[in-house]
Amino acid sequence: MKVPVSAAALGESLGLPPGSVQLTLWGRRQLLAREHRGLLGYSDREVVISAKDGRVRILGSGLSIAAMDAGSIVIRGEISGVEYA
């Protein structure tokens, strides 16, 4: 029997501080960011989101926001880098 594990429980088991932004990247074409604190900036070359302990910049070309809610955002396009500041 499989037991579902929440993202928070997984992060805690890995020793990550609660509320840390969690990034999932599928190849170079799609990124899911969970536990973000809001969208700070957006263009087709850069998406900047607020995190508990700073900012995360997603860099690339043809970037678009495919979905967003209070705690997660999906970014699509040609992703060339991710920076933490």
DSSP string, 32-57: EEES--EEEEE-SSEEEEEETTEEEE
Pick the CATH number of 19-84 from 3.40.50.12500, 3.30.70.20, 2.60.40.2000, 3.30.230.10: 2.60.40.2000
The confidence score (pLDDT) of residue 4 equals 57
Q: Mean per-residue pLDDT for 69-73? A: 90
pLDDT at 9 over 70: no
Q: What is the pLDDT of residues 37-68, one digit of tens each?
A: 999 999 999 999 998 888 999 999 999 999 99
The confidence score (pLDDT) of residue 22 equals 87
- Domain coordinates in residue numbering, the chain: 19-84
More confident residue, 79 or 6: 79
Six-digit token string for 3: 């037991």
Least confident of 16-20, 39-43, 67-71: 16-20
Q: Are strands 30-34 and 38-42 parallel, antiparallel or unpaired?
A: unpaired
The structure tokens 């850069």 sit at: 46
